[in-house]
Structure 1
């Protein structure tokens, strides 16, 4: 236990530099708000890296008295990590390790608080069951990915998900139920606040079946300024990088002899046209949008997403010119999450063809129509 009376001015400096949060690596818990009740509650401990007495943790006969009140030797910690470094595992918490933690934390707080006030972003999350998998997306897991360009506008997410749903995408009522919830939640939590001017920018984190992601994109549209985050498997991140390397998108056109038209999007996997013919019949013209060697983790950069947006916009225009805006466009997608949302954002509700979005499900024996998106 420290015997030194830390001056109020030093305490205040430490509080500012730490942002009022535990400086132990990976903790970052607020020390001035109860995690359950959200009420103000001081649970902060000031810990010495070099103990203020020679016999204390990491103490030193010469340095302890010199550093007892020095800001560079102090850390703000929660009770758990204060006890860990000073009692439970002193040997595992060397001076150099604690100094690294302090430096990392204070530099992160400095970066966040240095962001211009107009760079606030509301975190929008949406998740729905994908097969037997139930994704988890929370404020704690994704808020870090806004930096360094943005910071959270509030300490929670705007979540559009249907809570605790037991319906799966093979179930008869799954699409109807999820679609109704998504539209209702969007109108209640987003649209009204946007019209009031309370939302300036969205950071979108989503994990759901592709048809629902496309619908989410149509709701966001280009009315909202946003950044679509994408779950990259390797390296493990939700951020697309700034690499400018191009991926060439290829459009394969049909002979244009039928009234029914489909778009085969083979990006994360290859879809053979016979799977589409099985659903729509032989009297169908099939456009294909693809890349060389489609695979499920190819989307890495912001440029890939931007180029996709341009390609799809041009393709929508081309197909509408050929078949007319009253003809539905049947979309069979194998594509990354971010591109599904972007496809929806590119679609123009007052000008483009209505969309029929299909979903591949082994349980139902192939592609089946999941949702229809009609134009205004």
Structure 2
């Protein structure tokens, strides 16, 4: 029995080693004779639109940097990753890459030299892109002005940045899409919406929970965004045209009848979704309406905050908030979003509401709403912040949970 167990153990180790070796060195062969990608006006226009859909500049542009030249710091639980240079510079960007190399990065998660790319680059979503879309996106990027810039080296804790760690991660979490999947037509609105949400839009990067090792999920049920502090809400939409159109309005303008976008989502609206064709936004909404609604956690009704806390919160609200948001949280149409019935106010966690109060609320300036009103930050103690949040979450018919001073302290310590 001992010999059998030892033999099985050796076989398991050898099998795992073979799988890791396949991931490390078994990438798909690339043809050096692949036809050149057309760079006609129609292809370039299509590629530019795809870059907007995928929000390429959002991650591949450093704060104050040249668009698409990379260098933006992306904080993860495993260290900091810096985005790469997507301009056609031959030494520091994509200038030496072929369309086949680019397809390998998007579809297989491998660099031009065959190395395994870090999953901070969402190849787990981009693997669903069609080859035609990959080629059009490549043509667009290669038409941009080259910028010679080398982003800083990644600052990941050992062993997360090693190729062996990437191979092990891929064994657990990544399988490239099959050709018949990534090339399937998307003429039906729901199919098109799924392609946009799960592929180009890579919405799961923020709106799906991740495992302790950063493994992605295809369930858009929301969760805390690693390294950001924000909580991304579930993306399932209620049925009916009203819910769909409200969502379309929010992503086109940054505002809707019930609230506005802030934080990371405001950036997405600014750089990406305001530029989507309305038909694509409606297709994405149609797909999101097919997702099962996320049931609230089983719990007893939220306990009311102590009367003294609600009284303190009401005084703070009257002093700092009522002039814009109204005595009953009704807001002012076209200017200040309502707080009564606002989804951010009623989320399971109040962390987003706290971040908006503490750091200010700034909706994006969009083509459809070029001059949004902003909200200045409030410098409140943890006790005052907890009281204000509790009052807003338990007024005007709201039954959300109260917020404790300890919760505010914990959330603030993450920033």
Using the size of structure 2 for normalisation, the TM-score is: 0.24
Query: Who wins on radius of gyration, i.e. which is larger?
Result: 1
More strand by share: 1
